[in-house]
Amino acid sequence: MSAPRERYGRHPRHGRHPHHDAPDTSAELRRLAVLPDGPEREVLREQVVRAWLPMAHRIAGRYRHRGEALDDLRQVAAIGLVKAVDHYDPGRGAPFESYAVPTITGEVRRHFRDHSWTVRVPRRTQELQGRVRSVYQELAQSGREPSVREIAERTELAVCDVREGLSALHAHTALSLDAELALDGRQGPGATLADTLGGPDPALQTVVDREAVKPFLGDLSERERRLLYLRFFQGLTQSRIAEEFGISQMHVSRLLNSTCARLRERAGVGAG
């Protein structure tokens, strides 16, 4: 059972503060620090966590428009709050809030860094993206696309660093290969991203073999070299080569087999 939040007092504040309604749990935290593990400590720990949970939710709310569900962010912030309660040392004299806020914020940011990127980017690029993003959104409110130089001046970053940060702005999500492309004169109606991708080239499998036998082609007769050229470089069928040479297709097949066998033996290339 957790105690209602009203049982805790409030810190006196002068003027508004992001957490002006933070509960006063200093006595409970001091007691929590000396209690041994057990049911009594667990109940008190839960009471303190629940009392500070609204603050954790407010911190999570600051990140609600960055592609993650608010409920998920609140859970991450709650984990950060639990860590803050477990590791806070009241003997240091600092108020709990000054320790809990950066702990919770760090947990939320770590979540974005480690889990929310569909396309993985280097840690430095993620940090640049964070610095560039807020300035970009602020300048974009004027209704025009902010220039790289404007962002660089506001962030005090080099132009190349701004470009790197901008390149990661949309790396949190990825397009499906089934996503339709906008018509640009090159793609027809219904064209998808997958249509722009290349496929495996069967000829690549023969590149290594061709390079391996190249030094031994000079040992072949002119006729044999011509035969290989027409079959493997021009792609002619055996029947077409037979017409070219004035011999039967069966004879072409025997010549090709014997010539290739000698080349494979010389070069140590496996058959297939």
pLDDT tens digit sequence for 39-50: 999 999 999 999
Given pLDDT bands bounded at 50, 70 and 90, which one contains residue 8?
very low
State residue 150 phi and psi, 5-degree precision. -60, -45
Where does residue 179 rank: exposed (0-12), middle (13-18), buried (19+ CB within 10 A)? exposed
Which residues, other chains included, contact 92 with Cβ-Cβ below 8 Å and sequence gap of 6+? none
101 touches 42 (CB < 8 A): no
Where are the alpha helices (H) located in the chain, listed in sequence order? 26-34, 39-61, 70-87, 96-115, 123-140, 148-155, 159-167, 204-213, 222-228, 238-245, 249-267
Q: Where are the domains of the chain?
A: 5-115, 119-174, 204-267
Task: Indicate the angle between helix axes 26-34 and 39-61, nearest 10 degrees.
Answer: 130
Could you identify the residue written with the tokens 């009392």? 51
What is the reported pLDDT for 188? Answer: 53
What are the pLDDT digits (tens) for 50-66?
Answer: 999 999 999 999 888 77
Q: Which residues contact 158 (CB under 8 A, 6 or more apart)?
A: 152
Which of 1.20.120.1810, 3.40.250.10, 3.40.630.10, 3.40.50.2020 would CATH assign to domain 5-115? 1.20.120.1810
The hierarchical CATH code for the domain 204-267 is: 1.10.10.10
Q: What is the pLDDT of residue 186?
A: 52
- Single pTM value for the model: 0.44
Q: pLDDT tens across 118-152, in order?
A: 666 677 877 787 788 778 877 877 767 788 899 99
Of 36, 32, 117, 13, nearest in space to 82 by CA: 32
